[in-house]
Amino acid sequence: MTEKLTPTDPARVGGHRLLARLGAGGMGVVYLGRADSGELAAVKVILPEYADQPEFRARFRREVTAARRVDSPWAVPVTGADPDAPAPWLATAFVPGPSLAEAVTTCGPLPPRGVRVLGRMLARALTTVHDAGLVHRDVKPGNVLLAVDGPRLIDFGIAHAPDETALTSADMVIGTPGFLSPEQARAQPASPAGDVFALGCLLAYAATGRPPFGTGAVDALLYRTVHDEPDLDGVPDDTRELLERCLAKDPAARPTAREVDEALADGTPAEATAEDTAQNPPQDTPQNTADWLPDAVVRLIADRSAEILALPDIEATALDARDPDARAGEQPTDVPEGAPPAPRPTGRRRFLLLGGAALLTAAGGGGALWAARRDDSPAPAAAPRARRWILGVQADLTGPQSTVGHAQERGIRLAVEQFNSRKDKPFTLTLKTVDDRGEAARATKVARTLAADRDLLAVIGSTGDTTTGASLDSYDERLVPQLTASSAQSVYGTSEPRHFLQAVPDYTHLPATAAYSLQTEGARRVGVLIDRGGGIPAWQLGHTMFQNLGVLKIAGEPRVAPRLAKDLAPVVAEMVADKPDGFVYTGTPARAAAVARALARTDFGGVRVLGYPAAVPEFLTAAGAAADGWQIFAPYIDPAASPVRAFATAYRKRYGSAPAYWAAEAYDVARMVITRLTEAGGRPSGKALYDLLLKGTYKGMVRSYSFDKDYRWLESYEVFRYEVKDGRYSYTGRVDF
């Protein structure tokens, strides 16, 4: 997917006319460029602040050298580079297809033969990398592009020779958590065996649609990678044994990339080289994607190629304004004075004149389009449509968290309707809602659809951690500010969201209040049971609780229950035998109920604290009388509390029922966004609105919303206490700490 050039972008880099933006990261921008030969290239340009650092230039120079040493038909080749330019740049052949990550997210897992073919071609690419004396170090689905003639391994930005250590600190974890080896997770030197481990993770993802060590916070991913066995459920039988070997904890037990190639062979001589493969494709090395990819992926690849044909006019950029010789369609210098200017090609025809041959080859079947637009007659001008002011909502409306999702959507809708009813409103706000059903794959899909609406100003959502993390990139690519009122995960995988705000205290901040309350109630020894079945929330709440107990000089006795453990009663009994006067459980509602019943059968009489994600009606029903006395410290206020009473009245009048938990928080966040839009004094860009949200402080009903300027986290940590009494959650008020 491409974006228009901005006025500050250069027009040319290293002999490439820049046509569009392909993406931007923390260290630079990647452009779609056309070389003088007419071929397309992905041109990475480093930002000035990094170009001025000698250490960074040395690393970039190493990247260029490493990439040039890789010569494989399944690795994207370098077509040009200048690491010593004022703005260092690197150009590689442009692949118009989607990444493997996008293809699997959009279309689902690959079929068994597709996994084998993909594995064999990537194993051959890695064999070439390793034969060149290099280690890639970041083999992941996002670094594999699917083209019409097969996959391409990209991004050698952190590839290096195994003995190169000068630019890497001893404790730095290099790679992408979830797709790196146990030794890399321990910050040990990378090796070819680490690339094979990552390839095993990638192929498991391609076969099942999920990483073998799960998703979530970085620390949890690294822990699972080092200690847990991979989840290979759903991997075809004909590749499972090979992936188990690739994912061995001991690097010496893993096959080499060449051995992976041989193991995946299907009638192809194992000794064939990459060059032999390119000239005589074997049975499992297809000459076009239709041989091994599902139809949906083939269509996705075709759509990506077609998008290149549909690029808009090339916008004037900074270099165009400074250097007349760099302008596309430059007026000839020998035109007589006073003569009318020669007409410039316009619209799609202008773009095809700049790079049509390469594009038509990439997309295929484009000759009719070329012929249809040969004349210079402009298309009839359409009357400009007034821009709408759209606030988006992404929520789980039909999945496991639908109660919370509906409460939030209704709270946001009430805020919008109240604003639109004002006589002095400067604009009318439209609400646009999408249902992600609590599913990560669907969250990515609906987020991409919602973000594509050019009138979208901001989005509030999603409801849960997994769906929020899955939607981050879609909104950030479009510079759409995204806010969540309920997703409290402290780290969202490996994403680096730049237009994302958590308007809720995350899991790592809540335990401080709970630990303080335990101290206030006299607890001196606290058992902390972290149930791996509760996923990231359980781990972050439990782990941080243990840390905070240590800060308060309270003896913490942690236990970690495996996800597959069927009976936690023996663990509870063992913990009670240590005579604690406090007990904390973080996990699932059903297993929390089992723990509560087991604890009730002992002589434990101390303080009991339940991690709030498990504090749902299911816990009360399953635990019965054993639920009474458990305390919950949560970021949401009781909808009947006095600070939100006026909201509850309006909610009941509008919807005919009392609001559920999380409705008031969503209402607050919506009111904050509307306030910033009003203060903008006109329609703001996504970045401008994000800056307004980041800089200001909004006094809501539930809490004051202000965000740290450097880390973007919420600065106010209001926490609310509940205690189970007579089979219901009884609200006791805000906890001041």
> Which tokens belong to 26?
């923390």
Q: What is the DSSP letter of 737?
A: -
**C-alpha to C-alpha distance for 729 and 732, rounded to whole angstroms:** 9
Strands 719-725 and 89-93: unpaired
**C-alpha to C-alpha distance for 583 and 578, rounded to whole angstroms:** 11
Backbone angles phi, psi at 20, to 5 degrees: -165, 170
> Which tokens belong to 574?
């063992």
**C-alpha to C-alpha distance for 98 and 104, rounded to whole angstroms:** 10
**C-alpha to C-alpha distance for 64 and 46, rounded to whole angstroms:** 13
Residue reference for tokens 């080749």: 77
CB atoms within 10 A of CB 733: 12
Contact 645, 667 (CB under 8 A): no
Identify the H or E element spanning 320: helix 318-322
436 labelled catalytic: no
Catalytic residue among 9, 84, 131, 138: 138
**C-alpha to C-alpha distance for 586 and 52, rounded to whole angstroms:** 47
The CA distances from residue 194 to 133, 162, 176, 668, in Å, are: 14, 11, 12, 47
Burial annotation 520-545 (CB, 10 A radius, 16+ → b, else e) = eeebeebbbbbbbbbbbbbbbbbbbb
Contact 33, 13 (CB under 8 A): yes
Strands 719-725 and 631-634: antiparallel
Contact 217, 210 (CB under 8 A): no
**C-alpha to C-alpha distance for 619 and 635, rounded to whole angstroms:** 18
Cβ neighbourhood burial of 717 (10 Å; 0-12, 13-18, 19+): middle
The CA distances from residue 378 to 316, 322, 350, in Å, are: 20, 29, 12
Q: In a 3-state reduction of DSSP, which class is residue 86? A: coil
Identify the H or E element spanning 709: none
Alpha helices (runs of H) in 552-644, residue ranges in sequence order: 569-576, 589-600, 617-623
**C-alpha to C-alpha distance for 505 and 486, rounded to whole angstroms:** 9
Strands 389-395 and 456-460: parallel
Judged by phi (left if over 0) then psi (alpha if -120 to 50, else beta), residue 641 lies in beta
**Residues with a known catalytic role:** 138
